[in-house]
Amino acid sequence: MASSSSPFMAKLSLALLVLFMGSATAQLSSQDFYSKSCPKLFPTVKSTVQSAIAKETRMGASLLRLFFHDCFVNGCDGSVLLDDTSNFVGEKTANANRNSVRGFDVIDNIKSAVEGVCPGVVSCADILAITARDSVVLLGGPSWDVKLGRRDARTTSRAAANNGIPPPTFNLNRLISRFNALGLSTQDLIALSGSHTIGQARCTSFRARIYNETNIDKSFAQTRQSNCPRTNGSGDNNLAPLDLQSPTVFDNNYHKNLIQNKGLLHSDQQLYNGGSTDSIVRSYADSQTNFFNDFVSAMIKMGDISPLTGSKGEIRKNCRRAN
């Protein structure tokens, strides 16, 4: 009895092992994931991103930031796009996102255009990943093959976002710790922070730095103070470029600024403040090629954070709500 059933048991064990391994190591696929199911995907996304950036150059930075804030909360699952429901309060009103994260209407337009060429096929999470890449490229940065196959979350929470997204008040050790917890190295932290070479920040995010901190260039601080009053509640939403030189061009000026103590956010300047990461910042300031290469690697790595694949999650028809 035992000997006659052993081949069957062996096959069953092997099947279960393969099944377990498949679910435990679910991974994203290559850029060709939608090549047959949605062959017009990439040009459709790119043309819509291009149109949005043509209307407002800052939008490129906003779309890139959406992908960051999505991946740092329960992985890259499109959860940042969900509106609140009677069942949950979502991420849009979290501390890091409230009155700050933007571009949701552009994602709506992209999703609508993609649904027009291949309905029910492409996830909102994958659209965020492609949109981030296209935004970087259109603003002069590097390109890369985006890994695909993510599915969309059906729910999320504001608490998860409050706990997941590092605020601009973090010091270096806390930044490193948060990135490490997501499988991102210290080098990834410095490279990904280079995305602050584009975009703007609100006065509330940098007020304490420009008035209270000493590791800041005095003329730079005075320039920023002219549009950001000391008093809380006054000019809170006034904007300043994260990169003084070229806020609409993806380059390595962000790292050059840090060496001159011209980082706008406290968390920015922490990367170059006499600590363990100074040498990495200098290497990126010296070589844009080095920065671009490491940024690409870090973006691909970040895009791998806890994706929903296979039968998990869903392909949302509307990025703002579950089906």
> 81 with 105: CB under 8 angstroms?
no
Residue 239: strand, helix, or coil: strand
- Binding site listing for heme b: 196
To 10 degrees, what angle do helices 104-117 and 41-55 make? Answer: 150
Q: Which residue has the tokens 């000391």?
A: 230
Give the CA distances from residue 24 to residues 17, 180, 308, in Å, rounded to whole numbers and listed in that order. 10, 21, 12
Catalytic residue set: 69
- Binding site listing for substrate: 166
- Binding site listing: 70, 73, 75, 77, 79, 91, 166, 196-197, 243, 251
What is the C-alpha separation between 79 and 94, in angstroms, rounded? 12
Q: Which residue has the tokens 């950036």?
A: 53
Task: Report the relative pairing of strands 200-202 and 239-241 from DSSP bridges.
Answer: antiparallel
- Binding site listing for Ca(2+): 70, 73, 75, 77, 79, 91, 197, 243, 251
* Long-range contacts, stretch 50-54, CB < 8 angstroms, 24+ apart: 50/134, 50/138, 52/103, 52/106, 52/109, 53/135, 53/138, 53/139
Q: Which residue has the tokens 């990495």?
A: 280
